[in-house]
Chain A
Amino acid sequence: MKKVLVLGATSAIAQATVRLLAARGASLYLVGRNAANLDAVTKDAATRGAAKVESKAVDLNDFATHEALVEGAFQALGGLDGVVLAHGVLGDQAESQATWTATEAVLRTNFMSAVSLLTPLANRFEAQKAGTLVVISSVAGDRGRQSNYVYGASKGALNVFLQGLRNRLAKSNVAVVTVKPGFVDTPMTAHLPKNKLFASPEKVARGLLRAADSRKNEVYVPGIWALIMLIIKSIPESVFKKLKL
């Protein structure tokens, strides 16, 4: 990936990824919601050696801007060969259970806005017969659990969408990489008590780029989550529904 669009560039994992890409001398188009924070990430990337850095502050929940945003990124960098989609919200399960509005907000950001962005991006990549789409999903999308099934559902839906997209774009030489991090120590999880399973954003970013470079389909980062989720997925539903997970 030499010319990369990063959506949600101020998220911790995206920032760590941007640093690695900048050190490789990639050209970057960074998108985030908060202009001041986005500016901090942009200057950091430029200082660390990115060949070119452009940025745009937009709220990705405004779907009407997406077509123009994608067009702008292609224009600014003179084409794209990579996308890292990293924006998302954790939401609050209790609130989501209480009101549809809260649930809808999670689904809109994590699933619908991603689909809205990936639609024009996939079409352009399909037409140019090249490119890598990297999307940050979550292990939470592998199985619904009472503690965060709304977030999990948004990521699970995203996973299925990406599967289909991968299937469609395989013949066009476009890679679709689903990245499934486990717990990551970021501002998104600042309120949670930490344990040994929490990985640093840097570690996740390295795993993400490794997967992108080798055009993997689905990867768990860190790898231990492949095993954990294998176990969790193989528990029979009749038993699973009685567990407090």
Chain B
Amino acid sequence: MHRFDFRRLRRWELALAAFALSTPFLLPALAPVSSSLVSPAMAETVEKPDTSRIVSIGGAVTEIIYALGEENRLVGRDSTSTYPEAAAKLPNVGYMRQLAPEGIIAVNPAAIVAIEGSGPPEALSVLKQANIPFTTIGETYDEAGILAKIRAVGAFLGVPDKAEALVKSVEQDLDAALADSAARPESERKRVLFILSTQDGKIMASGTGTAASGIIELAGAVNAAGKFPGYKPLTDEAIVEAKPDVILMMDRGGAHGMSADQLFALPALSLTPAAKSKALVRMDGLHLLGFGPRTASAIRELNTAIYGKKTNASQ
């Protein structure tokens, strides 16, 4: 054992390691290109997809389908589609980012329409194999984005005229709400901090490029956490530094989340201007962040919550 111990073992070990490391590189090359045992023998794209039975993924997409009056085609929805109440009665195929392909196939849809960011990719590839057309609706957090969403869903359902009518009314509504917000002079704009969660005292705030940041700006306020992209946990000092006048949170209903008193008792938040006036605004998550047909009312509600009833105090 002692004589050839070191060298030989090492070579042997290296050989095994090399094998183990090379296997995954060699195998996909041997694996069939399609990860399916069943090779679909159907036409790849149909001229006009059948949209008589659809699964809708994403709260805003589902809302738009209802607003277009096309809800009778819905056979399933994801867990973020909670509005209107009728939608909540549809079979729930899971969270938009964690879809289960078999669950979707189970409700037997002819097509799927989903908001950008739905997944996971593996689930989408299985659905593709099952020949269920999958349409993605893009998303940006501004007025143009909402109107584009409505048009895209309308085009998908083959009801462009209905979509244009809805675009017109939503656009008017939005323009009115935005004009109100825009009339407020820069100097009077309040700083709003959107808090996603306060897990064990770590405060997750929303930076730039998020739905929360978008709605805060549309409502004529300033995103207090506008220095970084995405959702990030903020240090206590950064929160004090952000000087929010108002704290905005999602209303999770029931006894979830903290009371205003508990929230402002957190050391970091107790030092903010918001704590002095106990300015905490809670709104329904989908209404606030959905960027769908109801966004105009969300803007008005948020604006009122931040600045009080009287619009434009400036004379």
Determine if chain A interacts with chain B.
Answer: no
- What is the interface of chain A, defined by CB distance below 8 A to chain B? none
